[in-house]
Amino acid sequence: MKRKIIEKHKQGVRVMDLCRQHGGAASSNVKAAEEFVKHFAKLIEAEGYVPQQVSNCDETGLFWRKILKRTYMMAEEKSMPGHKPMKDRLTLVLCASVSGDCKVKPLIVYHSENPRAFNTLKVTNENLQDMWRANPKAWVTRDIFVQWVNMFIGPANKKYLTENNLPLRALLVLDDVPAHLPNLANNILEEFKL
């Protein structure tokens, strides 16, 4: 939302109009976002990072079996006894460099370690092009996130920086969800502490 507000502001939309559109929060969001952008740009410049050394990581939830609110279901089906809408969820975590040419294999968290579809298709976790983990609520835990950082982000960044003759320094931008440890650097394997 902050990015959309900033873009509208850059295009000339007045702060007062943004406040009306976004319920008054736009003024403080615009100022906070502008301050963050300035602070982050100074950090990047002061530390000498290039876009290939800066990566962003974020997660999203996908309710892949949830019935839409607007659907062509009969009214009787919605009110049947025992009917509960499906809410199967998986969480997908993606990471890529700012330049876009270093993409890390995604992390997928589902409530089952070995779904039936895997057995039917004879798929194992090792065959997948991503990291598949299980959690009863399909959430990314701190342990799962640290595993992913050490198994995929660290090696991918080190390989990419080495192949492109860049200094072995990387900056990983994260939001403040509980799974992202504030002291993540303490949990990274020594070989990936760039």
pLDDT in tens, 88-97: 788 999 999 9
Query: DSSP letters of 8-21?
Result: HHHTT--HHHHHHH
Q: Sorting pLDDT into bands at 50, 70 and 90, what band is 99?
A: very high
Q: What's the pLDDT score for residue 138? A: 86
Q: In what order do the strands lie in the sheet with 54-63?
A: 131-134, 103-110, 89-97, 54-63, 171-173
What DSSP state is assigned to residue 92? E
Q: What's the pLDDT score for residue 69? A: 59
State the first-to-last Cα distance of the chain, in angstroms, to the nearest integer. Answer: 32
β-pair type (89-97, 54-63): antiparallel
Taking the CB of residue 172, how many other CB atoms lie within 10 A of it?
Answer: 19
Query: DSSP letters of 142-178?
Result: HHHHHHHIIIIIHHHHHHHHHHTT--S--EEE----T
Res. 5: pLDDT tops 80: no
Q: What's the pLDDT score for residue 73? A: 52
pLDDT, tens digit, 9 for 90 and up, residues 39-82: 989 999 999 999 999 999 998 888 766 655 555 555 555 555 55
Q: How far is CA 55 from the centre of its chain?
A: 11
Tell me which amino acid residue 19 is.
C
pLDDT, tens digit, 9 for 90 and up, residues 110-162: 887 777 767 777 777 667 778 888 888 888 888 999 999 999 999 999 999 99
Give the HSE-up count for residue 164: Cα atoms under 13 Å, Cβ half-sphere: 17
Res. 1: pLDDT tops 90: no
